[in-house]
Amino acid sequence: MELSEARVAVVGLGLMGGSLAAALCARNACREVIGIARRQSSLHTALTLRFIHRGETDLCAGMADADIVVLCTPVGDILQKLGEIGPWLKPGALVLDVGSTKAAICAAMADLPAGIQPVGGHPMCGKESSGLTMAEPGLYQDRAFVLCPLDRTAVEARSLAETLVRAVGARPTYLEPARHDRLVAAISHLPFMLATSLVLAAERVGADDPILWSLAAGGFRDTSRVAAGSVPMMMDILATNRGPILDVLRLAQTELAELAESLQADDAAQLRQRLEAAAERRRRI
Amino acid sequence: MELSEARVAVVGLGLMGGSLAAALCARNACREVIGIARRQSSLHTALTLRFIHRGETDLCAGMADADIVVLCTPVGDILQKLGEIGPWLKPGALVLDVGSTKAAICAAMADLPAGIQPVGGHPMCGKESSGLTMAEPGLYQDRAFVLCPLDRTAVEARSLAETLVRAVGARPTYLEPARHDRLVAAISHLPFMLATSLVLAAERVGADDPILWSLAAGGFRDTSRVAAGSVPMMMDILATNRGPILDVLRLAQTELAELAESLQADDAAQLRQRLEAAAERRRRI
């Protein structure tokens, strides 16, 4: 099947789902974009913005004739839906998701009925603010979009998933689920843990001297930004990626302890060497 | 003396000095803005941009008839200059600085010749990129500008410093040097240490699997941004604020260890409570 002939059901119209639907619609990439959301008001907004062609609040009805189903809800909800949707999917449908961790989701995808074509997915983009009102068709442009086909996934389905990813402007990047989860632990979940510990440590200082917060400038704001994200979404991520996150936390704790030791010992040469290594690496990104 | 009658010498035409000079010039806030820089090319650029009225490469000649001298170089250079400029300052001159730590600088200011009016200063602003080409007259607008007058500083001089700070659009905020240094350790130097440890930890994962860097999205970029800053500038800050930075590093290490323990123990209630406290606090900034 060609993407241009496919009906695509986007389940969950938040930032990620709304932007995916919007990109498909704006580019006329497929036959129909069906938006599925719990609230009628979300469907109304998405229709008004021309992000979807048709809206459904009923998951089963919305998926019934969809050739491609893209699950765009938080990880915990994706896992739950994967356990329920099997009987309602159109035979042979491609099931893709955009969840932040992949091992648990791909394991759940393995239990979908025979013939269903599962591909785990994770686009490497996001924004400070979530929700449909922040969605935009350009969100995926030039971003890496990780794809994790299963052993059972047919070549045609992999190809269809890749076409969809390219259609929204993203770069398909194939990774094993475990490898994906190890990498995002370092690049995405560790920043969150460090930002959270920064805010909690500053809070201790600010509790004695609240003028602290009026001094917070760009450096604090940037470094702590991700700590303001959705807690339920992050709890799902922590629950489904514990091992890899604990591993990178240990790495960061070691680095932080070594920085503190160099400072404590007033070892300028060692401090400078570490700071220069980090600065040089960061500037190359 | 009124600011409008004063000759202001800005020593160092990087991001901070260039922007300060530009704001004073753009608003016609004083009689003359004299830019002092080592390189003739910086003076040429600043003159072309109308950031200064006159340029000098010779520090003594540039300061000779200045009623206000603002030291806008890194902390180590400010400390060195404070030890040298005494004999060359105009009697009664106000000496202000924009250095990132205040205890060491205010201690050095105490040794300036009698009659000289010292006020430590630290504007809470900055940018990812430094240098004169990034300078802009609006940099200080609505930012806190910490002022640390010394016991010896005359009331008129404090008032003149405050007028200058308001003239560039900033909010004067009076703090004791030690209190300033404790607060910026938490709000500015700790973010730098955490960002550096993040990059170094990610580097360890990326050394085995370099595709990591192609996955780095907004969250990693923001959280690590300050690690790309000037290493010599940061080395000066670490050297002059060791104690307070070590204190807040210990706070952050404790918070990080407690997050790791909650995750290790799979204690969702405790994790959620910490994440919500941080998210709620961060959203209030």
pLDDT band at A130 (very low <50, low <70, confident <90, very high): confident
Distance from CA of B130 to the nearest CA of A (A): 13
Output the pLDDT for position A129. Answer: 75
d(CA A241, CA A223): 22
Q: Report helix, strand or coil for B8.
A: strand
For the sheet with B117-123, list strands across it: B54-56, B32-36, B7-11, B68-71, B94-97, B117-123, B144-149, B171-174
pLDDT for B217 equals 87
Cβ-proximal residues to A123 (8 Å cutoff; 6+ apart), any chain? A16, A98, A139, A140, A143, A144, A145, A146, A165, A170
What's the one-letter identity of residue B266? D
Residue A268 is encoded by which pair of tokens?
């300028």
pLDDT of residue A128: 67
Asked if B257's CB is within 8 angstroms of A196's CB, the reply is no
Phi-psi region of B281 (alpha: psi -120 to 50; beta: other; left: phi over 0): alpha
CATH 3.40.50.720 residue ranges of chain A are: 3-175
CB-CB neighbors (< 8 A) of A188 in chain B: 215, 217, 219-220
Whether residue A183 contacts residue A175, with contact meaning beta carbons closer than 8 Å, is answered with yes
The interface pTM score, or ipTM, of the predicted complex is 0.94
- Confirm or reject contact between A212 and chain B (CB < 8 A): yes
> How far is the C-alpha of B28 from the C-alpha of A39, rounded, in Å?
57
> Which of these, A40, A41, A112, lies nearest to A71 by C-alpha position?
A112
Domain B180-283 CATH superfamily: 6-phosphogluconate dehydrogenase C-terminal like domain (1.10.3660.10)
- Per residue in A132-177, pLDDT tens? 999 999 999 999 999 999 999 999 999 999 999 999 999 999 999 9
Q: How many residues does chain B have?
A: 285
Sign of CA dihedral B223, B228, B230, B234: positive
Candidates B146, B209, B222; nearest CB to A183: B209
Digit-by-digit pLDDT tens for chain B (285 residues) are 999 999 999 999 999 999 999 999 999 999 999 999 999 999 999 999 999 999 999 999 999 999 999 999 999 999 999 999 999 999 999 999 999 999 999 999 999 999 999 999 999 997 767 899 999 999 999 999 999 999 999 999 999 999 999 999 999 999 999 999 999 999 999 999 999 999 999 999 999 999 999 999 889 999 999 999 999 999 999 999 999 999 999 999 999 999 999 999 999 999 999 999 999 999 998
Contact of A275 with chain B, judged by CB distance below 8 Å, is answered with: yes
Taken in order B62, B64, B65, B70, the sign of the CA dihedral is positive
* Contacts B190 to A, Cβ<8 Å: 198, 201-202
List, for residues A225-249, the tens digit of each pLDDT value.
Answer: 999 999 999 999 999 999 999 999 9
| Predicted local distance difference test score (pLDDT) of residue B58 | 97
Task: Verify whether the Cβ–Cβ distance A272 to B224 is below 8 Å.
Answer: no
Helices in chain A by DSSP H: which ranges?
A: 15-26, 40-48, 59-63, 75-84, 103-109, 155-167, 177-184, 190-208, 212-215, 218-224, 231-240, 242-264, 268-284
B223 at interface of A, judged by CB pairs closer than 8 A = yes
Residues of chain A with CATH 1.10.3660.10: 180-284
Average pLDDT, chain A: 97
Q: Check whether A198 has a pLDDT greater than 80.
A: yes
**Spatial separation of the C-alpha atoms in residues B8 and B252, rounded to whole Å:** 41
| Mean pLDDT of the region A17-32 | 97
**Distance (Å, whole) CA B21 – CA B5:** 16
Q: Do A188 and B220 touch (CB under 8 A)?
A: yes
CA dihedral A67, A19, A230, A248 (to 10 degrees): 80
Mutate to test the interface with B, among A223, A225, A226, A241 (most CBs of B within 10 A): A223
**Tokens encoding B78:** 């400010």
All residues of chain B having their beta carbon less than 8 Å from the beta carbon of residue A228 are 279, 282-283
CATH 3.40.50.410 for domain A180-284, yes or no, is no
A contacts of B242 (beta carbons < 8 Å): 263-264, 266
Gap from B90 CA to chain A (nearest CA, Å) = 33
Q: Report the gap between the CA of B259 and the closest CA in chain A (Å).
A: 8
Give the C-alpha separation, B35 to B160, whole Å: 19
pTM: 0.94
Contact flag A125-B218 (C-beta cutoff 8 Å): yes
Does B187 contact chain A (CB < 8 Å)? yes
- Cβ separation A200–B274 shorter than 8 A: yes
Q: What is the pLDDT of residue A126?
A: 74
Amino acid at site B39 = R
Fold category of B3-175 in CATH:
Rossmann fold (3.40.50)
pLDDT for A120: 98
- The number of CA neighbours under 13 Å toward the Cβ of A61 is 9
Whether A197 contacts chain B with CB within 8 A: yes
A144 part of contact set with chain B, CB < 8 Å: yes
State whether B223 and A225 contact (CB < 8 Å): yes
pLDDT at position B128: 67
Could you tell me if A250 and B180 are in contact, meaning their C-beta atoms sit under 8 angstroms apart?
A: no
* Predicted local distance difference test score (pLDDT) of residue A217: 86
Q: Which of A2-11, A120-129, A188-197, A215-224 has the lowest mean pLDDT?
A: A120-129
> Encoding tokens for residue A136?
């935009």
- pLDDT classification of A23: cutoffs 50, 70, 90: very high
Measured between beta carbons, which residues in chain B are less than 8 angstroms from residue A231?
272, 275-276, 279
pLDDT value of residue A281: 97
Q: At what angle do helices B268-283 and A231-240 cross, to 10 degrees?
A: 140
